[in-house]
Structure 1
Amino acid sequence: MPTLIATPRARALGFSLRAAREERRMALRELARMARISPGHLHNWETGLRVPKESEVGLLAGCLRMTVEERDRLGELARNAREPNWLESVVPGAPNEAAVYAECERTASAMFNWQPLLIPGLLQTGDYVRASLGGRSGWSKDDVEVAVLIRMARRDVLSRLAEFTAMIGEEALRQNIGGAATMSAQLHHLLTVARRRNIAIQVVPRGAGFHPGLYGCFVVLDYENLPSIVHVEEFRGGAYLYDEADVAAYREAAKELAELALGEQESIEFIQGVLAELEA
């Protein structure tokens, strides 16, 4: 069996180590010198290509003066870093695991996003995000506004991706998220971003029959020099799938959805039709 590299947990550990170092404005070589390790080793840990031992994580945590809670969290990631898949949980006030997904997103070269009931996150407007998060239990208005700012910043990823394919269910276009004005602005935004060369938006119409996408939304993230990851989103967290068989199954699901979806131009015309009905 090949050695697992850059598993979801290994990447999360690496992202967290790098973020902690950069937050303290410490250069990679400086931290490596303090910890008495080679810069190459530290680079591989920060990218998830290699996994440090718990004792090595503790050493880095000491050099970076991390809290006990942060040290324990990174130690847990190191202990389980070789597991291929990862179920995470996100709750307000806890360490922001959503930052891990944002980093996976930021470093991807291509993405396929299936959303049956909501507009894909990278294509959402600020008001749409605000309306969709406003009713979450335990979230204050400040929590929501921070989430809106983060989501808007994440949209910069679209300019760096070689290819972004958004497969959207018809129901997502017809939802009443935030009222008619918010939905109208959201659909106009979809039509605008659909003009970009690296973005493909396709609609899967109602009545298409059974397909794997009925089980829920998912994202396939591809990388130039690392194995692909599938992210399955849930209400308060999500699952990262790294196992080759799991990734292959989701790729097959993506192909089935593509066969059922309208073409890009047909999808644009369909969105225009929904928009005309909404604004009538």
Structure 2
Amino acid sequence: MPKRYSTVRGREFGDGLRAAIADAGFSGRAAAERVGWQEAKVSDLVNGKGGATETELALLLGVCRTGAAESRHLLDLFPDTNIKGWWQQHGTRAPIRNRTFVEHMAVANKLVSWHTHMVPDALQTVAYMREVLRASSSVPDDEMEARVAARLEMQKQLRHGLKCAFLLHESALRLRVGSVDTQAEQARHLLRMATRANITIRVLPADSGAHAGLSGPFTQLSFATYEPLVWVEGENFSLIIEEKAAVQGYETIVSSLVRTSLDADQSKAAITDLLRTTEAAG
């Protein structure tokens, strides 16, 4: 079935506006009546079909008594809802909870993630998370628990309906993060996660040498009704890639990494060996 045209910004705008109307206790019809519109106009606006001006959107948000921050966010998104690709700039550090990623992960049916230098957020234990956050030069101490809570909430989305493939370079597993106990528990957690029917963990051995993923970590999300996207995250930015040719380039990288990585059983054995080495060192 063909995927319908949609953009990340358009979906975030539509979902946000739909939530603003619902939070105000209105149906689409009731919201339309409050601003003197036809119900179809609200429906078109929510579903990315336009038909309203920025002033009219502001009026609707005012009637819904939407908070200032959310209103500003939706008004900023409104002119660009049909544009593919999104470079999100976060100031000095990444947000505690990246709304865009979490909301798209919630509706994805497949996740493929490549990591080179540490265990990805989705697979981290709490102790490992805290060590990673503590080592950051941009995360203040008073945000620590909120960031841990946000990562744990995100991990709940590794549900059975989401097929996940995590490709990890051996260096990500061997990086010393925290104590021996922290490192060992993280390895045990990876082995537990790898037993889930919807999760596959593949390890790329360090002695494989140069590989297709040298440009760095990324995550691809695929959907039942939307085209796939690629997510690249930096210290204080997020890059969302949607153009078909660019996404296909990352799919080629994934295919190459899969060919050169250990299979799932071999990867479990490699993690088990690392766990034994870590425990012996303790």
Q: Could you tell me which residue of structure 2 aligns to residue 84 of structure 1?
A: 84
Counterpart amino acid of 1:60? L
Q: CA deviation at 1:20?
A: 3.8
Counterpart amino acid of 2:275? L
Q: Could you tell me which residue of structure 1 aligns to residue 232 of structure 2?
A: 232
SS in 2 for 1:213: coil
Q: Could you tell me which residue of structure 2 aligns to residue 149 of structure 1?
A: 149
Q: Could you tell me which residue of structure 2 aligns to residue 171 of structure 1?
A: 171
Which whole-Å CA distance do the structure 1 matches of 2:265 and 2:181 have between them? 24
Which whole-Å CA distance do the structure 2 matches of 1:185 and 1:222 have between them? 31
2:4 and 2:226 in contact (8 A); partners too: no
Q: Deviations 1:172-227 (Å, cap 9, x if unpaired)?
A: 10111222221211111110010011110000111323333110111110111111
Which segments of 5 or more consecutive residues in structure 1 lack a partner in the other structure?
Answer: none
SS in 1 for 2:226: coil
Select between 3-12 and 226-235 the one with higher mean Cα deviation: 3-12
Q: Could you tell me which residue of structure 2 aligns to residue 187 of structure 1?
A: 187
Select between 194-203 and 87-96 the one with higher mean Cα deviation: 87-96
Give the TM-score taking structure 1 as reference length: 0.87
1:10 and 1:50 in contact (8 A); partners too: no
CA RMSD of aligned residues (A): 2.7
SS in 1 for 2:168: strand
Q: CA deviation at 1:137?
A: 3.8
Q: Could you tell me which residue of structure 2 aligns to residue 222 of structure 1?
A: 222
Q: Deviations 1:51-97 (Å, cap 9, x if unpaired)?
A: 56423432332123235554333222111222211111224799767
Counterpart amino acid of 1:255? S
Q: CA deviation at 1:139?
A: 2.9
1:88 and 1:97 in contact (8 A); partners too: no
Q: CA deviation at 1:25?
A: 5.5
Which whole-Å CA distance do the structure 1 matches of 2:94 and 2:253 have between them? 33
Map 1:223-262; keep pairs closer than 5 Å: 223-262=223-262
Select between 22-31 and 137-146 the one with higher mean Cα deviation: 22-31
Give the TM-score taking structure 2 as reference length: 0.87
Which segments of 5 or more consecutive residues in structure 2 lack a partner in the other structure?
Answer: none
Structure number with bigger Rg:
2
Q: 1:95 to 1:195 in 2, by over 3 A?
A: closer
Corresponding residue pairs, total: 277
Q: CA deviation at 1:145?
A: 0.6
